Structure 1
Amino acid sequence: MPKPIRNSFMRNWWAVEAIPIYCVVGVTVLGCGWYLTRLARGPHVVWTKSNPTPWNEVKQDENVKMMAVNQKFDKSWTRDRL
């Protein structure tokens, strides 16, 4: 790389002001990945043909939501296998 191009690249991409932007974008990407993984493991997603209706296994006293505000549940629903 020629020296003027390299200097302008380093000045723009490695500036101290850009570090918070990189941190925010990194945390956002990690959060999106975690949330998509959590959604993919929910009772309404079918991954195998051995049990085509996993939502029928959810009992009435099981919580499948991330946060239940006014409800009292005895236990939380978990997927036994993918």
Structure 2
Amino acid sequence: MSRNQHITPHPRGWAVQPAGGQRASSVHRTQAEAIARGREIARNQESELLIHGRNGRIRARDSHGRDEFPPEG
């Protein structure tokens, strides 16, 4: 089962945390590093990447799930 990945502020920088997870799967110095790792995980799991700002609110989404309506052809 794929779990969405969240990029959230962390006391040591930025964390990649699976939805519903108690702990971060990884912590990075910069948000860009965390996004890169989170995107890699989301692609592998065909899930969604949710990027939070310093205030904790979601500021961007990046979907890597299966396309529900693939192009015909």
TM-score norm. by structure 2 comes to 0.25
Q: Which has the higher strand share?
A: 2
* Larger relative contact order, structure 1 or 2 (CA cutoff 8 Å, min sep 6): 2
Q: Which has the higher helix share?
A: 1
TM-score norm. by structure 1 comes to 0.23
